[in-house]
Structure 1
Amino acid sequence: MASIQEDIAEHLSAAYQTVVDELKSWYEHAKEIWPFLLLLLIALITLIYFAKPAPPTTVYMATGEGSYRILGEKYREYFKRKGIDLQLFPTSGSKENLNRLLDKNDPIQVAFVQGGMISENQKKGLLTLGSIDYEPVWFFYRNDTFSDNRLVDKKKLENARIGLGPDTEAFNVLQLNGLPRLSPNYLVSSNLEGEQKLYRGDLEALLVVDGYDSAIVQRLIHHPNIHLVSFKRADAYVHLLPYFEKLSIPMGGFNIETNSPDHEIDLISTTTNLLIDENLHPAIQLLLLEAATEINGARTYFSKAGDFPAYLNSELPLSKEARYFFDKGPPTLMRYLPFWLAEFLERMFLLLLPFAAFAYPIIRAIPNYRLNLARKQIGGMYKELDAFEHQTLSQFDPQKRQGYLEKLNEIEVRALMSKASKIATADCYTLRNNIQFIRDAIEKEMIYQSLSAERKSDLSD
């Protein structure tokens, strides 16, 4: 037992001594090459300062009511799985979402915004990650309002009480039909309030812009006394308003058993767009696109699997990260690693790659730097030896021979004890040979006595 303890103690002692020796070695090297280390440290600090920071742990998103609110909850759950807190801010809809996104004092950096909402003076500072869903324009009306439920003409609409959402495309649709943008017959309210008024008969028609899965839309399309207008000129709407898409509902598309609807219905649809502040961290942008792929990329009533996210609405430029995502898919690391680890490795790679390019020639030059430093140290001893020899030649005194030898010994000891002896070994041995040559000459006295006599004779002449 004692032998095992002694063996362990010896190994631990050896390991400790090895670590100490290595630290001392590094310390000694650092004292020699500190200018290079300082240069590398400055370069690293500069890169860290200018490199992209770590992504925030909290992101703020404006949602809305109806399908936007449900969609926001799905995104929040996705972000939670990735370790990011997605704070949702309920709003009245797209218009408020857009205004909050434009307000630089507002923390909102992400928002669901309906296509067609953005004016020219609202584009600065905003980018899009693409469209993530269809938002059809549903034109519902009461059964007793129009006699022909397949065609609703302008005259009938002019006198109808119509409910409109506060920020929908309904206004543009009415205006294209030659109807006034503002009319006492229009009731602007929330979709839920408009639905209730339609049931009660306070409204003859209701324009709703929302997703197919919206609870309000589902209630209305299955209500026996409510009908849906077919946009027979859907192609014309799409041509005139490029942020619109044409969608179709086949006969029996809602319910085959009841054959609802009993005729094909054409719809026009804007899109739900994922808008961001241009300063949103690139990693968060990619995470939003990953969330959109999982949440909105599945097959839905109007879309096939993989249709979303997509760049359907060109009102805003696509972010660089989104363009890369659509062209090449998500970064490789994000496919196989947790978000935080993939993002960290990517950030470190982008940080260390330019640093390595800068550091490589510097690190490569360190051995030559140490060698040149050692040779410079030896060169200083050579100068001292040369000065000593010239002084000895001009003023040689046999009585001072011991002093001369002690001076030579002192120079040689310094050469042996210097770091230069370990780095520029060959140069150090050459120096010592020269010292020994002068030492031998002084001990023999003949050379220096004769040279000293000749020099004195020359001076007397």
Structure 2
Amino acid sequence: MQRVLHWLIRHWAVTATLLLLGCGALGYSLAAPAPPREIRIATGTVPDSAYTVAAEAYAQRLQATGFRVRRVPTQGSVANLEMLRARQVDVALVQGGIADPERDAGLESLGAVFAEPVWVFLHADRGLERLADLRGRRVSVGPEGSGTRVLALALLAANGIDATEFEPLPLGGAAAAAALAEGSIDAAILVSASISGGVATLLREGPAQRLVDFAEFAEAYAVRLPFLSVVRLPRGGVSLAADLPDRAHTLLAPVASVVAHQDIHPQVVSLLVGIMQEVHRPRTLFAAEGTFPNALAQDLPMNADAERYYARGRTVLQRWLPFWVAVWVERLLFVLLPVLGLALPLIRFGPALYAWQMETRVWRHYETLRRIEAEAERDPDATARAALRGRLEALEGRVARLALPVNYRRHVFALRRDIAYVRAQLDPAGPGVDAQTR
């Protein structure tokens, strides 16, 4: 072991190079891989739906950053979760109350982005006042795979009505509005963050289609369905000119979240959360400016990188550099930091180690010279003296062949003077006579 250490010290340049390469390899192995170049986003099938609009906004900004974005049309939140679990998409919007932490293990939330009010419209002329009156009725609850259907069934179940006690119809949006207007159904339950499509149509139908006000039952619903929050539709919120609606309404709303796999790249998370803030920070009818996105009331665990972003914002590099440049610099720093941590002390002690290495090439010959001198002091006979002189000549030849930088040649000359001194001791007349002769 000592010989190995001695070799490592003697060959410090090789050792330093190996250590630096090892640290660089370690840093590279620990550094996160580069982000993927393609991201698959689940989008809605209705052009003006909040999910489709938001997903398209994300896609356009990701493409502007340099990603390839593949848009995958889906039927809604339930289908989005299924595709996330099957890894058919990377990012999707999911309605609150749909995800299950055990069933959807491995998925994480990147933050809530907007409230999605529940719009319950009833035929005013059929004696219907609230959800509890829908037993035995024909009700539009949204298509299979949609979050609307899951939420509608949960609302009716909270009123003691299971799926066998009414006729659920897979209608949504404009189709549900048309069916309610023509009287082929008794009620329509819609979930929409924007007042457009079927919601806008039914609000403009006037008193024939009555929008349910949840003001008196909001707290009771919140106890039974805690993923619902209370939002207010102000009087004139749809149209001030038409005084639509003609009074304020209290609505119930789940919150939509952006969901991704737990192994999503950390820098993609930072980029996405930044995009979400840009898209969803402005004021809306149901939220003050800056309310969304946020990390509150999530069905799934919050992604740790997203949580850090909400707390601290973007990194300095991401703030000042284009995304892909910041990615490259951050990965390079991750590799170089351990190398620099080792290189600085090596640079500091390198000259001393180099000097020690050069001088050691001379000093190691002193051990041979010391042994020859010790034997010369024992008053050897003529044959032994001749042998010692031969050893001295061989030693002097090896020393003369040493190739050292000019700064260290003085050590060679000093050793040759010492060799001459020992040779003088081997002279039959002794060192003093030799000195007088010279």
Measured against the shorter chain, the TM-score band is 0.7 to 0.9
Separation in structure 1 between the aligned mates of residue 88 and residue 364 of structure 2, nearest angstrom: 65
Asked if 1:322 is matched to 2:302, the reply is no
Separation in structure 2 between the aligned mates of residue 181 and residue 428 of structure 1, nearest angstrom: 101
Shift of 1:446: 2.9
Separation in structure 1 between the aligned mates of residue 185 and residue 277 of structure 2, nearest angstrom: 39
TM-score of the aligned structures, taking structure 2 as reference length: 0.83
Shift of 1:437: 3.1
Contact 1:67-1:213 within 8 A present in 2 as well: no
Aligned ranges for residues 42-441 of structure 1 at < 5 Å? 42-65=22-45, 66-103=49-86, 106-146=87-127, 151-152=129-130, 154-155=132-133, 157-165=134-142, 166=144, 167-168=147-148, 169-224=151-206, 225-232=208-215, 233-389=217-373, 394=380, 407=394, 409-415=396-402, 417-418=403-404, 422=407, 427-428=411-412, 430-438=414-422
Shift of 1:284: 0.5
Distance change (3 Å), C-alpha of 1:373 and 1:208: same
The 3-state SS of whatever aligns with 1:275 is strand
Separation in structure 2 between the aligned mates of residue 235 and residue 301 of structure 1, nearest angstrom: 22
Contact 1:412-1:435 within 8 A present in 2 as well: no
Contact 2:173-2:199 within 8 A present in 1 as well: no
Q: Which runs of 5+ in 1 are unaligned?
A: 1-29, 452-461
Contact 2:122-2:187 within 8 A present in 1 as well: yes
Residue identity matched to 2:154 = N
Separation in structure 1 between the aligned mates of residue 279 and residue 195 of structure 2, nearest angstrom: 14
Separation in structure 2 between the aligned mates of residue 352 and residue 42 of structure 1, nearest angstrom: 11
Specify the alignment match of 2:7 in structure 1: none
Contact 2:177-2:199 within 8 A present in 1 as well: no
Residue identity matched to 2:130 = V
Separation in structure 1 between the aligned mates of residue 179 and residue 119 of structure 2, nearest angstrom: 16
Shift of 1:197: 2.4
Contact 2:131-2:159 within 8 A present in 1 as well: no
The 3-state SS of whatever aligns with 1:118 is coil
RMSD over equivalenced CA pairs, Å = 3.1
The 3-state SS of whatever aligns with 2:180 is helix
Distance change (3 Å), C-alpha of 1:131 and 1:389: same
TM-score of the aligned structures, taking structure 1 as reference length: 0.79
The 3-state SS of whatever aligns with 1:33 is helix
Separation in structure 2 between the aligned mates of residue 371 and residue 213 of structure 1, nearest angstrom: 80
Contact 1:211-1:217 within 8 A present in 2 as well: no
The 3-state SS of whatever aligns with 1:273 is strand
Contact 2:24-2:339 within 8 A present in 1 as well: yes
User: Structure 1 vs Structure 2: percent identity of aligned residues?
Assistant: 28
The 3-state SS of whatever aligns with 1:290 is helix
Contact 1:138-1:228 within 8 A present in 2 as well: yes
Of stretches 336-345 and 224-233 in structure 1, the one that deviates more from structure 2 is 224-233
Distance change (3 Å), C-alpha of 1:390 and 1:268: same
The 3-state SS of whatever aligns with 1:194 is helix
Separation in structure 2 between the aligned mates of residue 195 and residue 89 of structure 1, nearest angstrom: 27
Distance change (3 Å), C-alpha of 1:143 and 1:405: same
The 3-state SS of whatever aligns with 1:121 is coil
Contact 2:101-2:301 within 8 A present in 1 as well: no
Separation in structure 2 between the aligned mates of residue 349 and residue 252 of structure 1, nearest angstrom: 56
Task: Identify which of structures 1 and 2 has the higher relative contact order when contacts are C-alpha pairs closer than 8 Å and 6+ apart.
Answer: 2
Separation in structure 1 between the aligned mates of residue 357 and residue 369 of structure 2, nearest angstrom: 19
The 3-state SS of whatever aligns with 1:60 is strand
Separation in structure 1 between the aligned mates of residue 19 and residue 223 of structure 2, nearest angstrom: 61
The 3-state SS of whatever aligns with 2:319 is helix
Specify the alignment match of 1:13 in structure 2: none
Residue identity matched to 1:332 = V
Shift of 1:441: 5.6
